[in-house]
A and B are shown apart, each in its own frame.
Chain A
């Protein structure tokens, strides 16, 4: 029977694009119909539609599909293991005593936002490169300091992302593909360096982290050997975390895994007690850990020719930048950093907020964080709404991703895997932007965190990437 004759004999199920009452009329007549939440592709811009059309050419599309399949397979099959802790100068590629790594795409000192400047000057004091904040500003501007994005050194950094030579780093190794990723230790919450605060209390804490916490963790991991982070992540999601803004379960799991080895180290009981008190002081202890896991998996998928999968989303407080697998190396596509909307600590108003900042959007790039909101009903207040809305965010992200990660699943969605592998073509086609859960730092240096909420990348970054790739892929 021909397809047209099949249509005659089957029940109508229409997909309706455009005028909505056509759907209603079909349902009135006992047909089925689904109305699309459609937007003009590429926001209606002809050059973007032309680029999408070009990439849909059968021969090109086939190459892209194959490349993306490989990229997503590498993200999913990556098995990032925590293998150690050490000072940045000892492990991070390209690190020097006068290097300051920062979050997001490249930026110069004079263009940095208040929060990042606060973190940079604090780090210079911490490293002994300046005696106080005032002098640190001069040093930072002098040209003697090398500023470089964390991402260009196999690192990720929370918020300002400021990382200096003697800070302790997670060392995370990809058991499947062999690459290594690094990230700083959590300073816990609020008035902290990565949020732009830099007073004496901040420096004192950094000194303790360098002298006690870091070395103790290093020794513990030497005893432990390795800890399977993906396994912990999967459990944390089942326990109600999305592992970006909520880390209660993940932190418990991580410290649970570390505790026997910490106990075996040669540090004093008082020092161990200090470490456990510090971890208990907020639930954010494991936040950076998941970021390193995500970075480790995504780096394994970077540099696959013809792939349109996003491997990095990061912001420096001024610009939002993405990297795409099919543009190997450090090509950034950027647009202006956006506002973050969400509840604020008492006493602060939206106009106090700095713009979106940090490498933590690496979690959404991997498929957790905002993408896994359905796993974390406890923090739906961040999206200003209901559990249904949180579920909606997680299912909606499937419109712009390529696969579901079977290793990291969400119970409330019948254990579907998290949406994985953002395809820039889908983002431009649908106008749906990746949702990002994140913290809000004060716009001025020296103050710190003032709230948390959700934000989206600028569409511009994806549009530029699409235009460039549509010319590159042939």
Chain B
């Protein structure tokens, strides 16, 4: 066995590029294990765990690039390094050699006067500083990074507010500005509906549904999940509403969030009351009265939010295919499940999709557990063991700490799926597949072998395993929505037509004795 280590001092690559390089490096013939990573404590811990942390690597700094290869022979090791060098240089060739490169936001902003927005996705420890630099340079900011302190968030948002700039985030993964989807987003028709959302996949879902119902959007402003907390006070949602209210192209405004802190809800609804335009409010698990009192339009589900928005924006409700629940199908599935198969297991990439399905289940069942449950009694005690009805947001920090999001790397979800499929008390496994910019290039394809295997095993054990899939995307997205749905159906997966319907179907499938 041969191990070779190379440390490149002060050589920075972002973790996503390194991951893709690592993956390719592991495919080089003869490689037993290859790691290409920055010398952070976390990465060193990973190496320690696999027995590859040499004293040399222990000395590596977080700004150093570590390359470690384990192979059968020295020769194979050397070959692998040649291959890895090629991977690095290949990347360089695709860029024009004389393209001007900038190292800082300051220098880029100074040299590119038309620049109007900064997208920041560096490690959270450095993100606030970069965001501040962007604001100082009069750039709007989409702050994708997470692990930014709430103090920094407040300071940045106040600064942005004073300067009249947007500060979307931190931990903001979705926006559509001027018809361009930023970070994670779907290809959605241009229209007259504006969205302000404290929820990434929730806003993606509403935008996709609006498109599906024939509508389109003007702007989708993400605020980051903490914007409506007591401390932050909804600074960006308030500014976002104001801007959309003044935007000529926008006729209807949709607000999306988990339930805000009460004092913030008051502020937001006060702003809604001021609006010249109709406002649809979809606060997951929220109450209707306050919204109506503020003159807003209440939506209980993402689907309802989209439908109301489209109608308020001028569509004829009778002409919309509302994709009603398929009751005969529900009866059919109920008949196939045994009395023992009582539970829903939801394995989600999208946090808000998980939340919506969970709230729908909670309307009928009491024993609904999750890693994102607000009620501590129903918060999953052991993350790795499901109980009763369990809805997992696999994009939450619990699962992503040190790992990429399941929208990019589905490996954690595949393993969990195979576990759930073995459980005889499980009636339905519900999964979302997210298409669009930033997502995996074939989210269905990577899951498919596991689905086929699980179906076979269940059949062998003499039970029906109902797998319910929801593919979130529009007919303009890549990969093709139609192809992804087709592959799932061919494997015997039932397809839900929306996030809302996915939750309702899952609940109803196991809802026999209820």
Residues of A within 8 A of B (CB): 2-23, 25-26, 28-34, 36-41, 43-44, 49, 52-53, 386, 388-389, 391-392, 395-396, 398-399, 426, 429-432, 459
Could you tell me if B117 and A13 are in contact, using CB atoms closer than 8 angstroms? Answer: yes
CA separation between A5 and B179, bound complex, in Å?
14
Q: Tell me the nearest residue of chain B to A53, going by C-beta.
A: B129
User: What number of B residues sit within 8 Å (CB to CB) of A?
Assistant: 63
Give the residue among A11, A33, A34, A386 with the most B Cβ atoms within 10 A.
A34
| Contact of A396 with B101 in the complex, beta carbons under 8 Å | yes
Tell me, in angstroms, the Cα distance from A12 to B114 when the chains sit together.
9
Q: A34-B102, A38-B103, A431-B63 are in contact. Are A15 and B117 (CB under 8 A)?
A: yes
State in angstroms the CA–CA spacing of A13 and B115 once bound together. Answer: 5
In the complex, 15 of the A-B residue pairs with CB atoms within 8 angstroms, ordered by the A residue number, are: A3-B140, A4-B165, A4-B166, A5-B243, A6-B116, A14-B119, A16-B119, A18-B120, A29-B180, A40-B125, A40-B126, A43-B63, A44-B125, A429-B104, A432-B103
Q: Which listed residue (B10, B122, B242) contacts A18, Cβ 8 A?
A: B122
Q: A388 to B120, Cβ gap below 8 A?
A: no
8 smallest CB-CB distances across A and B, nearest first, come from A18-B121, A4-B243, A430-B103, A388-B97, A43-B63, A31-B180, A39-B12, A18-B122
Q: Are A36 and B140 within 8 A (Cβ)? A: no
Selected from B62, B134, B177, the residue in CB contact (under 8 A) with A7 is B177
Contact of B182 among A14, A20, A429, A459 (CB under 8 A): A14
Contact present for A386 and B97 (CB under 8 Å): yes
Say yes or no: A36 contacts B16, CB within 8 Å: no
Which segment of B22-30, B105-113, B291-299, B317-325 sits at the interface?
B105-113
CA distance A22 to B185 in the complex (A): 11
Contact string, B135-169, partner A, CB cutoff 8 A, digits 1/0? 00011101011000000000000000001111000
Contact between chains at B178 and A8 (CB < 8 Å):
yes
B65 to chain A, nearest CB (A): 11
Closest to A44 in B: B62
Q: From the candidates B62, B108, B219, name the one contacting A8 in the complex (CB within 8 A).
A: B219
Whether B117 contacts A7 by the Cβ 8 Å rule is yes
Q: Which residues of B contact A (CB under 8 A)?
A: 10, 12, 14, 16-17, 61-63, 97-98, 100-105, 107-109, 112, 114-123, 125-126, 129-130, 134, 138-140, 142, 144-145, 163-166, 177-183, 218-219, 239-240, 242-243, 246-247, 249, 437-438
Bound-state CA distance A7–B160 (Å) is 14
Instruction: Please tell me if the beta carbons of A8 and B134 are within 8 angstroms of each other in the complex.
Output: no
Contact of B108 among A15, A29, A52 (CB under 8 A): A15
The one of B10, B63, B116, B182 that contacts A22, using a Cβ cutoff of 8 Å: B182
Inter-chain contacts of A49 with B (CB < 8 A): 126, 129
Please determine whether B115 and A14 come into contact, CB atoms closer than 8 angstroms.
yes
Tell me the interface secondary structure of chain A in the complex: helix
Which A residues are in CB contact (< 8 Å) with B116?
Answer: 6-7, 10, 12-14
Complex alpha-carbon distance, A322 and B454, angstroms: 66
Q: Which of B63, B102, B123, B164 has the most CB of A within 10 A?
A: B102
Choice from B114, B129, B239, B438 contacting A4 with Cβ under 8 Å:
B239
A3–B247 alpha-carbon span in the complex (Å): 12
In the bound assembly, the distance between CA atoms of A25 and B441 in angstroms comes to 13
Q: Are B102 and A2 in contact (CB under 8 A)?
A: no
Is the CB–CB distance between A8 and B181 below 8 Å? no
- Give the CA-CA distance A28 to B437 in the complex, in Å: 10
User: Which residues of A have CB within 8 Å of B121?
Assistant: 16-19, 22
Interface centre among B104, B144, B182 (most CB of A within 10 A): B104
Name the distance in Å between A2's Cβ and chain B's nearest Cβ: 5
A340 to chain B, nearest CB (A): 16
B108 touching A36, Cβ below 8 Å: yes
Q: Across the interface, do A41 and B119 meet the contact criterion of CB distance under 8 Å?
A: no
| Docked complex Cα distance between A14 and B112 (Å) | 10
Residues from chain B with a CB closer than 8 A to the CB of A429 are 104
For A386, list chain B residues within 8 Å (CB). Answer: 97
Q: Is the CB of B246 within 8 A of A2?
A: yes
Taking CB as reference atom, which chain B residue is nearest A28? B437
In the assembled complex, the Cα of A426 lies from the Cα of B104 at a distance in Å of 9
* B16 / chain A contacts, CB cutoff of 8 Å: 19-21
Using known A-B contacts A8-B177, A43-B10, A430-B103, determine if residue A26 contacts B115 with beta carbons closer than 8 Å.
Answer: no
CB distance from B410 to the nearest CB of A (A): 17
Q: A248 vs B139: C-alpha distance in the bound complex, in angstroms?
A: 47
Cβ–Cβ < 8 Å partners of A20 in chain B: 14, 16-17
State whether A13 touches B178 (Cβ < 8 A). Answer: no
Partner of B105, one of A8, A28, A36, A459: A36
Q: Which B residues are in CB contact (< 8 Å) with A389?
A: 97
- For the complex formed, measure the closest distance between the CB of A373 and the CB atoms of chain B, giving whole angstroms: 14
Residues of B within 8 A of A15 (CB): 102, 105, 108-109, 112, 115, 117-119, 134, 139
Q: When chains A and B are docked, how far (Å) is the Cα of A29 from the Cα of B476?
A: 12
- Taking A8-B218, A12-B178, A388-B97 as known contacts, 15 extra A-B pairs with beta carbons closer than 8 A to each other, sorted by chain A number, are A2-B164, A3-B140, A5-B243, A5-B246, A7-B177, A15-B109, A17-B122, A21-B16, A22-B121, A37-B103, A43-B10, A52-B129, A391-B98, A392-B97, A432-B103
Report the minimal beta-carbon distance from B275 to chain A, rounded to whole angstroms. 15
B118 touches A17 (CB 8 A): yes
Would A37 and B10 be within 8 Å (CB), given that A15-B108, A19-B144, A21-B16 are in contact?
A: no
Chain B residues near A31 (CB-CB < 8 A): 178, 180
Given contacts A8-B243, A389-B97, A459-B10, contact A14 B104 (CB under 8 A): no
Residues of A within 8 A of B140 (CB): 3-4, 7
Per a CB cutoff under 8 Å, which of B105, B142, B181, B249 touches A25? Answer: B181
Q: Which residue of B lies closest to A11 (CB)?
A: B178
Q: For residue A69, give the distance in angstroms from its CB to the closest CB of chain B.
A: 16
Known A18-B145, A29-B180, A32-B114; contact A388-B98, beta-carbon cutoff 8 A: yes
B404 CB to nearest chain A CB (Å)? 10
Residue of B nearest to A24 (CB): B437
Contact A8 B164 (CB under 8 A): no
Residues of A within 8 A of B246 (CB): 2, 5
- Contact call B181/A37, Cβ cutoff below 8 A: no
Q: Which residue in chain B gives the minimum CB-CB distance to A385?
A: B97
The answer to whether B129 and A41 touch across the interface, beta carbons within 8 angstroms, is yes
List the A side residues contacting B165 at CB < 8 Å: 3-4
Contact residue among A7, A40, A41, A432 (Cβ-Cβ distance under 8 Å from B178)? A7
Contacts of A32 in B (CB 8 A): 114
Which A residues touch B123, using CB under 8 A? 40
In the bound complex, CA of A300 to CA of B449 (Å) = 73
Cα-based distance from A2 to B240 in the complex (angstroms) = 11
CA distance A470 to B110 in the complex (A): 25
Nearest-Cβ distance from residue B442 to partner chain A, whole angstroms? 16
CA gap between A17 and B100 in the complex, in Å: 15
On whether the beta carbons of A17 and B125 are closer than 8 Å, the reply is no
Q: Which residues of B are found within 8 Å of A4, using beta-carbon distances?
A: 140, 164-166, 239-240, 243
Contact B119 A38 (CB under 8 A): no
**Bound form: Cα–Cα A398–B103 in Å:** 10
Cα distance A374–B177 when bound, in Å? Answer: 40
